[in-house]
Amino acid sequence: MTKIKNTKQLIACQQCDALYDTPVLKLGESAKCTRCGSILAERKVDSIERSFYWSLAGIMLSVPAILLPIMGVTLVGQYHHASLLDCILALIDNGFFMIATLVFLFTLAVPVVRLLGAFYITYSFKFNRLKPSLLHFFRAYHHLDNWAMLNVFMLGIVVSMYKLLDDTELSVNMGLLAFILWLICSTMASSALDQDYVWQELENKFVD
Amino acid sequence: MSIKTAQESGLALCPKCHKLNDMKQSADNNARILCSRCCGMFYPRKPYSLQYTLAWNIAALIAFIPANIYPIMILYSMGIGEPNTILSGIGEFIDYGLYPIAVIIFTASIIVPLIKIIGLFLLVYRVHTGVRLRPDKHSKFYHALEFLGPWSMLDVFVVALLVAVVELGFVTSVSAGPAINYFTLTVIFTMIAANSFDPRLLWDKKQGSKNAKEENDD
């Protein structure tokens, strides 16, 4: 075992544990692991600003995306439409409580909490209100990484439209537009956020 | 072998904040370490990773059986109920000639869960025995599995939407069937199984066998 340098000068690949010297990156560059090809580190352009505005837009859009009807059907003179919230309520009416809870979590709670989290973090950075508690907050934020499924729900909307198109008259409502915009905002907000930068800044400020 | 791993250098990577920590006292893989940056506890390698993956995987496989036997949704028209399983729903799309949609649903609800379950069994087996282990290929395969996971929820969301939208009283209405519970469980179990697999074990095993070979050669 060799003498260990300062751990800040080293970086390890998250996927295969290979050890490298910390690369010096310019804005917009990223470093890849030579062994497994996954991204080691990257510096995103204008990360805090972009993530701040995307998440702000996402928070504002989340209300119409959840409450406005996404689509409606007409059959023999009767009309009925449903929003994202109606899907969950319909499942509860049917007695499928587990599915209702999971659909609620994956398509409503997790995306909203993630947007609020990204907003809070970028807000604190933008206006210089850094607190030590942000360390714990950002750690908790990462627990939700895998569980937002707005994109899958979007595909679900498309598939069920095809299903309904055959034997009913289908109408598309404003909720669909709001939902698509919401999906774009939440994807952009989380992909624009530069995690390495946030961790580095928090560490420099509070740990040392 | 030029590449050193963090573990060999007595360092451990925090999975949440990607901070390298000193493994102070022991080089024991199952010792909990307190991350100096985010103050969370973590393990250098996920403990009992293979066992957990195998267990969740078996649970997913078991739940996948009733998911395909029971109807996933029941279509009522004029008071007469017509149950649909996952496969018969796909058959309907083929009858209507909507092949792209049929392919999407068939991929998302049959092929992806099966590939995930079989693929994870394969990965666990290869890591355990070290037979024909190719970490570069296998870790790419693992990432594909991880990425595909959530897309299997497609069928559940479609049923949820149809139940909510098609609610025209006596004329037509849709209600969910018992299979949706089992199908969701399958998806969740495979996602947890993929999460509990540690891709770094692939490289560790390879490195270990290579080192052993070099020692034998000497």
Hey, where are the domains in chain B? 1-44, 46-217
In the predicted model, what is the mean pLDDT of residues B64-77?
A: 87
Classify residue A1: in a domain, yes or no: no
- What domain count does chain A have? 2
Q: What is the pLDDT, as a whole number, of residue A180? A: 92
Work out the minimum CA distance from B210 to partner chain A, whole angstroms: 15
Using alpha carbons only, give the angle A147, A148, A153 rounded to the nearest 5 degrees.
125
Is residue B173 less than 8 Å (CB to CB) from chain A?
Answer: no
Whole-Å CA distances, B5 to A18, A19, B23, B201: 4, 5, 13, 12
Smallest CA–CA distance, residue A180 to chain B, in Å, is: 16
Same domain, A37 and A82: no
**Environment class of residue B26 by beta-carbon count within 10 Å: exposed (0-12), middle (13-18) or buried (19+)?**
exposed
Taking only the tens place, the pLDDT of each residue in B72-96 is: 888 887 778 788 888 888 888 888 8
DSSP B11-39: EEE-TTT--EEE--S---TT--EE-TTT-
pLDDT at B105: 85
Q: How many Cβ atoms from other residues are within 10 Å of residue A61's Cβ?
A: 21
Structure tokens at B63: 């739940």
Joined together, the tokens standing for residue B30 give: 């199952």
Buried b (16+ CB within 10 A) or exposed e, B59-87: bbbebbeebbebbbbbbbbeeeeeebbbe
Residue type, A63: V
A95 three-class SS: coil
- What average pLDDT does the segment A14-21 reach? 79
Residues A28, A85, single domain; the answer is no
A90 and A186 belong to one structural domain: yes
Q: What is the mean pLDDT of residues A38-49?
A: 83
Domain B46-217: which topology? Answer: Butyryl-CoA Dehydrogenase, subunit A; domain 3 (1.20.140)
**A82 and B164 in contact by Cβ < 8 A?**
yes
**Is the CB of residue B73 less than 8 Å from the CB of residue A164?**
no
Same structural domain, A94 and A16: no
pLDDT tops 50 at residue A2: no
| Same domain? A168 vs A80 | yes
Which residue range(s) make up the domain with A31?
Answer: 7-42
pLDDT attached to residue A6: 65
Pairwise CB contact (< 8 Å): A12 & B11: yes
**DSSP three-state, residue A131:** coil
User: In the predicted model, what is the mean pLDDT of residues A11-36?
Assistant: 80
Judge whether residue A103 has pLDDT over 70.
yes
Best CA proximity match to B86, nearest among B214, B200, B182, B12: B182
Q: Using a CB–CB cutoff of 8 Å, tell me whether B22 touches chain A.
A: yes
ipTM of the assembly? 0.85
Q: With beta carbons under 8 A apart, name residues in chain A contacting B74.
A: none
CA dist A89 and B160 (Å) reads: 10
Model confidence at A47, pLDDT cuts 50, 70, 90, reads confident
Looking at the fold, whether A109 and A53 belong to one and the same domain comes out as: yes
**Better-scored residue on pLDDT, A30 or B10:** A30
Q: Which residues on B lie below 8 Å from A168 (Cβ)?
A: 166, 172
Partners of A38 on chain B (C-beta within 8 Å) are 139, 143
Residue A75 lies in a domain: yes
Residue A202 has pLDDT above 80, yes or no: yes
Whether residue A27 is found in the same domain as residue A119: no
pLDDT digits (tens, 9 = 90+) for A106-140: 989 999 999 999 999 899 888 888 888 888 888 88
Question: Taking CB atoms and an 8 Å cutoff, what residues of chain A touch B166?
Answer: 73, 80, 164, 168
Give the residue from A2, A17, A103, A141 with the most B CB atoms within 10 Å of its CB, the best one to mutate: A17
Q: Given CB atoms, is B206 within the 8 Å cutoff of chain A?
A: no
Section B178-202 average pLDDT: 88
Residues 6+ apart with CB under 8 A from B102: B90, B93, B94
Nearest CB to B20; choose among A7, A37, A207: A7
Contacts across the A-B interface (CB distance below 8 Å): 209
Q: Is residue A89 part of a domain?
A: yes
Residue A34 belongs to a domain: yes
Q: Give tens-digit pLDDT for B108-123.
A: 888 989 999 999 998 8
